[in-house]
Structure 1
Amino acid sequence: MLAAFWSTVWPYLAGAVVLGGAGAAAGWLRRTDRLVRGRKRQWREEDAIRTGHRSLAAVDAMSWQDFERYVAQLCRRDGCTDVEVSGKSGDLGADVVATLADGRRLVVQCKHYAPHRYVPSGDMQKFVGTAWLHHKADVAVFVATCPFSKPALALAVQHGILALHRDLLGQWNTGTPLPALLSLNGTGQGDRAHRQCRRDTYRSS
């Protein structure tokens, strides 16, 4: 009787085992494929940063979270260690924190704005109020995908914050190391005609 029961049941058990194994194998293959694709994507992104092949148009197409991660990757490229990305609101201006190659503490505020906009003085005021006292920065950088308003730029220069506007971001993106940009604070935004041309180009694209 037991033999008859087993002869009836075992094909179903064997089938269940086979199906379970096939399902597990398929799940493993899907996970492996995702990991491989993710590593390839990360490699391409890091290679684009190393070689300066990422365009500012590609940066404009990022989400603000991707932009913060992109800035963190640029910091790593330039020899920074202990690089951390906040990735959330309420960080009091410290979107990226890191240690520069010479040991100084770096605090970065990131703003992913449309190229035709300006960083207002209010944004800079907030960062001035937290970068040195709250975050204990040795080097404070405000990086944006657009220019800074004149009051915002004046505040940055007055308080020793690197206002890394769109033109300087383009230089950083194409390989100029961050420490080399510190002495350029307050320069490089171009004249009024240059900025109007940039706005017209963005609006027509």
Structure 2
Amino acid sequence: MRKSVGTSGGYTGINYDAGQSVNYDRVYKNVDGYDWLSYISYGGQRRYVAMTNSTNSGSTGQSQSGSYTFQNTTRIRNGLGTGASYSGRNYSPGQTVHYDRVYRNVNGYDWLSYISYSGQRRYVAMTNSGGGQSASTQQNTSGSYTFRNTTKIRNSAGVNAGYTGRNYSAGQTVHYDRIHRNINGYDWLSYVSYSGQRHYIAMTN
């Protein structure tokens, strides 16, 4: 358990043991090779813990369905990561994949996974951004996301953006058409509301 985010953050002298759980309210993506959970301790101090359950940050798949249209020729792989075996097939620009899992920040990419027609699980890197995930990369990716926390709806991406006065509550679902990566420590989903305005919500789960 650390006093600030990152592997060099001051150590509190307290650890979480295997099997223990933490209730967190913030996630910081890809800091020193890890995703970090943050919460307020009983003493009122903000604390930070690395997600160390896997050897590669973000390599635990999130069950998240959607579709993604490629802008670059992208290899289809039999496993997760740039070192995984190549299936011999590619997605070409303009083709779309329908996925059921997302793996965050593996070898500098987010990866989509799906079951092929032959019944094999396949993996493709989200290469539209042209490389590793840089701050505020926008991807035109549609899907749905169910909230586990009350989350503010904003007029633009970022924690300081104007608040609409409305929230998504735990259990509600949003249908989005864009993702903005790594803004103020969050990935942001975006959609056009019934009023015709584009709105943004942080992925706080």
> TM over 0.5, yes or no?
no
TM-score by length of structure 1 reads 0.25
Larger-gyration structure (1/2): 1
Greater helix proportion = 1
Larger strand share, 1 or 2 = 2
**What's the TM-score, normalizing by structure 2?**
0.25
